[in-house]
Structure 1
Amino acid sequence: MLFRTKLFLSFIALGAVSIGAAFLLIISSQRNEENQLRTNLAHESLSGYFQLSGDVFRTFKQTRRDLISGPGTFAFDFEQATQDIHVTLDRIKEALVAEASLMSGLQSDIAMQNLNALRNAVMQALSDIRAASDMIVAGQMDDGRKMAIEVLQGQVDVEIATLIQDATSVQRAELAAAQREIRAFQETAETTAWMTVGLAVLLSTAIFLTLLRRFQTGLRELDAGAKAYAANDLDYVIDLAGRDELSAVARSFTDMAQQIRSKQTALEAARDELEQRVADRTSALSAANAELRTNDAMRRQFFADIGHELRTPVSAIRGEAEVALRTRTGREKAQESALKRLVSIADELTAGVDDLFLIAREMAGVLDFRTAPVDLKHAVSLGIEQLQSLSGQKDAVITQHLAPEHIVILGERPRIAQLVRILISNALEHAKHAVNIHVSVVIEDSNAVLSIADNGPGIPEKDWPRIFDRFVKGTDRPAGTGLGLAIAKSIALAHGGTIRVQHSASGGADLQVRFPLLQGPATR
């Protein structure tokens, strides 16, 4: 439970105690006021009866003196005395009526009955005395005095005296009861006040001790947790049960520690990942540096090979020219023969320069062909025909299997023929003895697949990832520039195709090129 809820309930409890005590005190005060009013009314009624008793007995005493012992006529104002008795009776009645609202119904009825009986008795006695006085005045002295004696001794001395005594007894009892209730309510109010003070003190002490104990326990746990977290013990859990503010703070501290722990774990993982990345990057950079060194060595070797390859035709050109110039006899025929050889050498040199230019444009990212719909089977057949003479020199057999379908791709026919020549030449150069080369063109998955497979020694799998890179030569062929398959790859990519190597069914190499098909008429 929250502290504010506990305090709220505690204040409610104290308020309830205070309100209860105040309510009891208010009730006691009201009852005291009522009892005080009852006391005053009882005093007033009792004094009225005393007044009535004095008026009645004084009046009848004077009547006894004047009518029995005196001249037989009233020596005092009998009418005024009667009027005074009426006033006293009315005053008593008013007091009893007011007192009736505070008394029980039975007591009020008894008091009113006594008053009415007393009023009737007094009025009857006064009427009889007046009649006796009239008889005396009329000359009936004995009868009048006899009647007066009977009234005074019977009605006044016995009946009226008894009624007055009974009425005063009732009022004395009412006065005593009101005084007792006043004292009882005063004692109750005093007891209630002391009990309220004691209960409030006990309740306040219990609340204070409960909250103090809770605060002490919570602060000890929070202090232990703070020290544990300060010592980097982030797995420490502040065990503070409950649902108050201290428990909420403890849970917040524990959640904070867990979040810090999670962030530390994440930072450690990030650090490890960064270290691994740095290590990987360092390794990659080392590998790249090694590759750069290898490429640089291959590039130097390439330029050395290119220089050697270019020196040979240039030397041949120079030699042919010098021979032609030194010839004295049959000069025209010798020069014609020399010029023909020079043209042939120049063609070879031009082809080599074209290859270098193709590689340079591919490296610069500006390689483009004059694309048009091309009959792939016709272009492949053209490339095979161009190498028939070379295959005869190498004691090689070239067979072909071209799909019966009409296969059209988007590209440049001479370049496709060049690609075929390069791949067949690669198979011829790797073969040490007679070799069978099988060229096929088929359709697979909306692609045209050109395959050139041989039964030669094949290409080691360790060389497969790099055989299409520039300046790379197979481990079993140190001679050459290493540009042939790179040019083949550039031609395949320029036509939107791909090239790969795999083992052939006869154990040699199988170089496959895939071209996207194009529907439409093809140029031959």
Structure 2
Amino acid sequence: MSIRSKIIAFQLLFLGAVLLLGAVVYFAIERADYYIERVSQTHRQLEATTALSVAANRYSEQIAEMLLFGEAGRQEFEEARRDLTRSFNDFEMVTIAEIALIEDEAEREGERAELLAIRRMRSITAQMHDTALDLLQLIMRGREEDARLRYYAEIEEDQDDRLQELIDLAVADEKEEVRVIDEQTERLTRELIVIVSVTIALTLLASMGAVFMLSRALARPVARLSTGAEAIGSGQLWHRIPIEGNDELTALSQHFNKMATQLEAQRQEVMQHQALLEDKVAERTVQLEDANRRLEDLDRLRVLFLADVSHELRTPLTVLRGEAEVALRNHATTSEDYRDALAQIVDQAEHMGRLVDDLLFLTRAEADSIRFEMGRVNLQEVLEAVVEEGRVMARSQDIAIVARYPDRPVEVIADRGRLHQVALIAIDNAIKYSYRSSTVTVELAATREGAQVCIRNHGDPIPAEDLPYVFDRFYRGRQRRGKAGGSGLGLSIAKWIVEKHRGRITLVNLGQNDTELRISLSAFPAAVTDRQRSDSRILAPS
């Protein structure tokens, strides 16, 4: 087994041990945090229940005092009612927080039952309040005996008892829940301590064993090499290293012995040519690495280009051949059938032409042979022209295009034709993926850096897993309506043009089936390099 394999095995073992320990510690911390929060939440719930019990008792007492003192006790009665309402609100909020925290569905059902109990308690206190006000009216009309009888019959013997019974049940339930959670927390603490301790012990043992094995495998050969190096360094050229094993150190020992045999005869020659040889090796290495890198890049681009082109041209070619074969084989074909077949062939040929144009553009872009005519450009003028073209394209689907511009002109240093191409690609895609009879919105805004163009359409949202790839070549969004459209090169071309202007282009889902393409441009981007200044042409969007 080679030293490299031994080191890799040790690294994998150590990495696995660290990951295992990390996973155990993470699990322990997460469970501990959960139960600590449960304990804290349960205690808050018990405090809220206790406060509710106190407020309910005070409320009952204030009802009796109000009936005793009449209207003079009305203010304290209302204050007690407000305190009771606050206690109900606090208890309900704490219970809702407890439900959100609990993981077990059965425990959640128990907490939801407490919410129902709170609603029943609220209902009883509302009845008590209405009854108390009725009794106060009786007292004010001089019917104290009737008020006293109704108080004992409706409040003290009925409503107050039912309210107190519900509160006592809630207090008892919360105390029991506190006891259970405390027991679970203590048990979890003991279990986690055991699990973490065992994991740490096993990790240490495994690491120590691996270190010992690796050290043993390396120490003896290294010691022999060290002894040999000291002997050669001291002039003992007859010294030889014993050969054992079959790894890199063994090969090194063999070379070491051979070097010792030839060292005396070649010492002067090596010293004379060493400097020159090192320079030549370094220079040749750099040249070979650069050439190899260029070859790899060219080969990768060639393979990718051929794969993409063959994939994209196969479908239209199949349709062309199929339409022609059907028209030729069918002897009963009418002139109208021939016309339909030729129309299909023309449509597919146009699609192939657009695809070839886009591929040529991307090929020139990768070769850095695209020329930019930079100048001051009014973005509103560019967008107005593109919007008019877009309205013609959107007419067949009854899609409206609404444009919003700022009061002042927004200008950037850019290539007007390229910006027109980017905007047309964006609006064309927005129309393709919009619902019929919907609206596409084009907004231009000045920003601190320069300008931002937002093009929003209403249609099926792009799946989240597809968003990172929308600007890749030959990407087509998998909307639910199954629209693919174009060659899948439009957004890739737009991204390249925007980035060459030192800008940024992004596509986001806004919700409510709205998708927005954002193009951010700097007011004064860096100058285009000379390598980009060669012949090019503006292409229609895919």
Instruction: Give the TM-score, by structure 2 length.
Output: 0.40
Instruction: Give the TM-score, by structure 1 length.
Output: 0.41
Report the structure number with the largest CA radius of gyration.
1
